[in-house]
With several copies, the nearest count.
Chain A
């Protein structure tokens, strides 16, 4: 049964230190209020997995010292440029960085979704991504003739954390077309979700909503968090707060600026309301 918690802070309190935490990209709703709550509770030693890449939320966690390791296809603030705390952390070797490529993340999570030890993947051969990953293998396609292919070990995150437009009281989560969130829930040992609203009607019982719904079976805990993705957006509900993100991108260029941002916008609760 899915636990229905009271707040994003209770969600953050349920996510242990030291785990491998899978996070979505900025175009799927990010549980920003819960991410801020992780910073507030001084989460430690998180290993982040970008599915397949991420931006603001990773930069925030890295800058706040919550992260020891990152595996992702990219960290970027999009048009606002490089993610400054990530970039600094790599340059100063404050985090262990495992570069990968989007389909390799998707494939390794699908291996976990299918209970497989590995998945094969085309491409990649000859890149420094492969050359620098000693946990990957290149071996022959058993049905081919001198046909090398990459074998990726499954990635099973300890938990995933994301935001969604709505959930129902049974723990079902409506994600619409953002099905990477479904793979993340299937593939992870635990799934934590914040939502804009919790409805009384069963999302699985309605043939219109069921196709875009993750069954509660996969959801460990959820909590309501209005504007929980802010300053990122939720499709059809609210847009990215580009001005605020620009403000972040500027502040985060320096450690001092980042600390001031955290003090103002994270430590004392979100002030967007």
Chain B
């Protein structure tokens, strides 16, 4: 078994957060969460239902593109995943642009369904492999979807965790801040502090544990059947991850 990749650590970390759930949906541009959901399904013995957007064979939904959103609003989706060009310390995410949105320095695809699903899915797991002051910022330039809401705003869902290429944060709903949960191999608390643009809590301080690295069995699943399944939607990701020498 060759060396464990950062993506594989992220996949395993996310898969663990899906244990015991009934139905997980995965949106666009989400190969790492997609792989994690498929791994979690394997580990569940098939009891976890996974809805992969963009998959053509075996559709989960038969009522058109709106069904994902309706299904979430019905409370039938337990977890979803959102990325962000920028993510800030209040778990706001930015999928739109850097700088003034009318004269952006950089423009990204757009908000997709984030502004809705972030409110309605109980366990939204944020992911961003690049962990740097550029991606994890004090305040996003554009709020595609806010991390927290006023108490009178209908919001059964919200942020649950943030998984990066360096660590895992929990989101503390009460304090409206991230709390460092575990460090990926070779990362130190100082690394995280230096590379993170927002303030976060570190309840375990120096005792913050390492992120569990996927064992051989998990790696074989990720690189074998999971990789084959994810290839239908993300051929380039699969090629980069699994076909490299």
Contact = CB atoms under 8 A, between A and B. Distances in A.
Direct contact between A and B judged by beta carbons closer than 8 A: yes
Interface of A: 1, 25, 27-28, 51-53, 72-76, 78-80, 82-83, 86-87, 90-91, 93, 99-104, 106, 110, 112-116, 121-132, 146-149, 177-183, 186-187, 202, 204-205, 210-215, 217-218, 235-236, 242
B63 interface: yes
A25 B150 CA distance: 34
7 closest Cβ contacts across the A-B interface? A115-B73, A179-B64, A74-B110, A76-B109, A123-B119, A123-B116, A126-B146
12 contacts: A1-B47, A73-B110, A99-B96, A101-B112, A102-B112, A103-B113, A106-B64, A114-B73, A122-B120, A123-B120, A125-B153, A180-B66
Contacts of B96: 99, 128
A182 B61 CA distance: 11
Interface residues of B, number: 61
B245 interface: no
Among B29, B120, B150, B153, chain A packs the most CB atoms within 10 A around the CB of B153
B145 interface: yes
Nearest to A50: B110
A215 B103 CA distance: 44
Q: Tell me if A's interface is mostly helix, strand, loop or mixed.
A: mixed
A251 B94 CA distance: 28
B16 interface: no
The winner among A27, A113, A126 for most chain B CB atoms within 10 A is A126
Contacts of A74: 28, 95, 109-112
Q: Which residue, of B115, B153, B235, has the highest number of chain A Cβ atoms within 10 A? A: B115
Interface of B: 23, 28-29, 47, 49, 54, 56-66, 69-76, 95-97, 101-105, 107-120, 142-146, 149-150, 152-154, 234-237
B64 A127 contact: no
B71 to A, nearest CB: 7
B75 A204 contact: no
Contacts of A236: 56
Given A76-B29, A183-B66, A217 B116 contact: no
Contacts of B56: 27, 235-236
Contact of A101 (B63, B113, B235): B113
A38 B101 CA distance: 29
B111 A205 contact: no
A52 B65 CA distance: 8
A146 B150 CA distance: 11
Contacts of B110: 53, 72-76, 99
A116 B73 contact: yes
Contacts of A217: 23, 49, 60, 71, 76
A73 B119 contact: no
